[in-house]
Structure 1
Amino acid sequence: MLGTLSTLNPVFLALLAGLFTWGCTAAGAALVFFFKNLDKKMANVMLGFAAGVMIAASFWSLIAPAIEMSAHLGKLSFVPALVGFLLGGAFLRLVDRVTPHLHLGMPVTDKEGPKTHLRKTFLLVLSITIHNIPEGAAVGVAFGAVVAGQHELLIAAMVLAFGIGIQNFPEGAAVSIPLRGEGFSRTKSFWYGQMSAIVEPIFAVIGAYLVILVTPILPYALSFAAGAMIFVVIEELIPESQREGSTDLATAATMVGFSVMMMLDVALG
């Protein structure tokens, strides 16, 4: 099966992987049809788990390979990873500044970005959408690195997509269920929840295409995606998981998420 997959166009594989991670978000958002409210402790655990997965994926699936690909630079092999990592964080910061959005659990008075009259719902969805961009890009770059016949790179890309899909499931629920609690219908809550991940297949294709078009940027692209993902974890996921108590549970969930992704990446990738 791997032999067949590795012969397919990497951009097409990236699209399939992006659709998979989007589908995982939709599956999580579908929990709104069964629950009207999400227990805060459970929400914190879910966000903490997602943070742990993203931290592990950023290193094991993105930064470490970027450094390995730059081994020919000798003692300066860290440079592409360092430059890409910092640029990834700067890019997300720029997007945050130019896009109006509101983090989960925050009052509308704490919205960020330029002034806007958008409703709280759209601000929440925009926030999650912005922070799904690096996940899609990471999947795309990973599949863009796959050269026909190189099963190891293909497996690593598939593990990354699977790991991001795992953390997208609770993220989808963390968007749709609070919207239901604010009075939206189940259908609308689900719609907004799953739409927050629509950017993932789009940026997966863009990431894969750019890497194939300009192969030398691969280590920079991998670490760029990692930097953007870490920005999301530090700026949003961890702070939100630590609100309103249950700090220890959220922290434990972060460690579990990290451990799960690390095991998947090392054992399978």
Structure 2
Amino acid sequence: MEWFKGLDPVMQALCATLFTWFVTALGAALVFIFKTINKKVLNGMLGFAAGVMIAASFWSLLAPAIEMAEASGTKAWVPASVGFLAGGGFLWLVDKILPHLHIGAPMEEAEGIKTGWQRSVLLVLAITLHNIPEGLAVGVAFGAMAADLPSASLAGAIALALGIGIQNFPEGAAVSIPLRREGLSRTKSFLYGQASGIVEPIAGVLGAIAVVSMKSILPYALSFAAGAMIYVVVEQLIPEAQAERNSDVGTIGAMIGFAVMMILDVALG
């Protein structure tokens, strides 16, 4: 652990997001064991991911952003609300541009710019879309430590990375196993599944560099990441978790995910 503490925030963000990508790959590797996934289990996985992201958005991002704004003498609600809405707006724009297809949806319901890409690629891009704010959130959390503010701690950033990593495990499985069911080989399904998490280290490093270079934007950056995650939860995860009649499973998964992330952040942060 000492070697990790000795790294600069950008390198810490890279290591942390490589960990979250690795957990995605572990989850995707379940395709070598299972060919199909029960719909109730999938709903629970998606709900769990939603719960983790909701809790992380407040405990790890919005609350520190408000504290930082208050400490600097700024009206606390300004960076929190502006950044939050900007994050949601950014994901809305990407959602309209990036071609993607949600799990279980027919090809005619593909979103973004129309292309002739295969269904498997569009499915992977749908998950990749919501991995962007996850990586960004972790990167910003580690970059925040460079500002030497009490509300930005190494333990809190590690808690966020752990929470994102935990929910990435079922997320990786939720990509690779449906791809296997679509007819892809186990190896291709695994490679596509883990590839959905590669964007996290990229977003994490960019987020860390941005806040280290411009400390004044830190409250806005934290709120931006929170807004982007909440957009993904409301637009993608919750609807997919509630798509079937077994809606209780998705709801219970969300409650458990929220509790896990809250415990991690409060206990470690």
TM tier, shorter chain?
A: over 0.9
Amino acid at match of 2:153: L
Equivalent-residue separation in structure 1 for 2:106 and 2:250 (angstroms) = 22
Aligned position for 1:209: 209
Report the alpha carbon displacement of residue 115 of structure 1 after superposing the two structures with TM: 1.3
Gaps of 5+ in 2: none
Residue 264 of structure 1 corresponds to 264
Q: Deviations over 1:109-149 (max 9, x none)?
A: 10011111111111111111111100000000000011398
Please tell me whether residue 181 in structure 1 is matched to residue 148 in structure 2. no
Deviation at 1:252, TM superposition (A): 1.0
The match for 1:105 is 104
Amino acid at match of 2:52: V
Q: Which residue of 1 aligns with 2:75?
A: 76
Superposition CA RMSD, Å = 1.6
Matching residue of 1:94: 93
User: Separation in 1 of the partners of 2:16 and 2:93?
Assistant: 27
For 1:72 and 1:193, locate their aligned partners in 2 and report how far apart those are by CA, in whole Å: 42
Cα offset for 1:156?
A: 0.4
Q: Distance in 2 between matches of 1:148 and 1:71?
A: 14
Q: Which amino acid aligns with 1:19?
A: L
Range 244-253 or range 193-202, more displaced = 244-253
Q: In 2 relative to 1, CA 41–177 (structure 1 residues): closer, same or farther, beyond 3 Å? A: same
Give 1:75 shift.
Answer: 8.0
Structure-1 separation of matches of 2:263 and 2:220: 25
Indicate conservation of the 8 Å contact 2:147/2:212, yes or no. no
Q: Secondary structure at the match of 2:184?
A: coil
Provide Cα deviations, 1:46-98, integer angstroms capped at 9, x if missing partner.
10011000000000000000000011466821110110000000000000111
Letter of the 1:166 counterpart:
I
Provide the secondary structure at the position in 2 that maps to 1:70. helix
The equivalent residue for 2:24 is 25
2:172 maps to what in 1? 172
1:177-219 Cα offsets, whole Å, 9 max, x none, are 0010111100000000000011000110000001000010000
Match of 1:190 in 2: 190
TM-score normalised by structure 2 residue count: 0.96
Name the amino acid aligned to 2:95. D
Distance (Å, rounded) in 1 between the aligned partners of 2:147 and 2:233: 33
Deviations 1:155-175 (A, max 9, x none): 000000000000101010000
Cα distance in structure 1, aligned partners of 2:230 and 2:149: 28
SS at match of 2:183: coil
Q: Report the Cα distance in structure 1 between the residues aligned to 2:209 and 2:260, rounded to whole angstroms.
A: 29
Structure 1 residue ranges, 4+ long, deviating more than 6 angstroms after superposition: 148-152
Ranges in structure 1 where 5+ consecutive residues have no aligned partner = none
Residues matched between the structures, number: 268
Alignment of 1:225-236 (within 5 A): 225-236=225-236
The one-letter code matched in structure 1 to 2:69 is: S
Q: Corresponding residue for 2:143?
A: 144
1:172 maps to a residue whose letter is G
What fraction of aligned residue pairs are identical, expressed as a percent?
65
Secondary structure (helix, strand or coil) at the match of 1:147 reads helix
- Quote the residue 1:247 is aligned against: 247
In the alignment, which residue of structure 1 is the partner of 2:42? Answer: 43
Aligned to 1:218: 218
Kindly indicate whether residue 82 of structure 2 is the aligned counterpart of residue 114 of structure 1: no
The question of whether the paired residues in 2 share the 8 Å contact of 1:6 and 1:146 is answered with no
Structure-1 separation of matches of 2:107 and 2:169: 25
Q: Which amino acid aligns with 2:130?
A: H
Q: C-alpha separation between the residues in 2 aligned to 1:142 and 1:53?
A: 16
**Corresponding residue for 2:61?**
62
Are the aligned partners of 2:147 and 2:215 in contact in 1 as well (CA < 8 Å)? Answer: no
Residue 7 of structure 1 deviates from its aligned partner by 3.1
Normalised to the residue count of structure 1, the TM-score between the two structures is: 0.96
What's the CA shift string for 1:6-58, capped at 9, x where partnerless?
33111100000110000010000000000000000000001001100000000
SS at match of 2:117: coil
Change (3 A) 1:41 1:78: same
